[in-house]
Amino acid sequence: MKICPPGQKLCPIKVMALNSKFNANSESEKSNMRAAVKAKFGMTDIAVNALDGEPLKELFAQCQTSTGPEWRFPPGYQYPISQRNAGVKMAKTENT
């Protein structure tokens, strides 16, 4: 028994299954965004659930905090001698 009609590239049943997966992912993403907005701004459930589309995305963007990577030189690392004093001008001292 074939599910797709012969000669048809996209099977309607498979397309419907994919659409339901996309919708489920979208709803899951929205619920995660709403939870973050609720925690950040202390909104009520009714107010958060009313958010959708651009207003939800805008408030969610304000919840994001990005920090740079915490990269450091390992302990005991020394710059190569050619770069240690690069760009540093030594002050002239007078011997009097």
> Is 51:34 a contact under the CB 8 Å cutoff?
yes
Structure tokens at 62: 């304000």
Counting runs of H as helices and runs of E as strands, what totals does the chain give?
A: 4, 0
User: What is the model's pTM?
Assistant: 0.49
Hey, how many other C-beta atoms are within 10 angstroms of the C-beta on 21? Answer: 10
What is the block-wise mean pLDDT of the chain (96 residues), using blocks of 10 residues? 60 72 76 91 91 90 75 70 58 59
pLDDT of residue 72: 72
pLDDT of residue 1: 44
Hey, how many other C-beta atoms are within 10 angstroms of the C-beta on 26? Answer: 10
DSSP annotation of 27: H
pLDDT of residue 54: 92
pLDDT of residue 47: 92
pLDDT of residue 93: 59
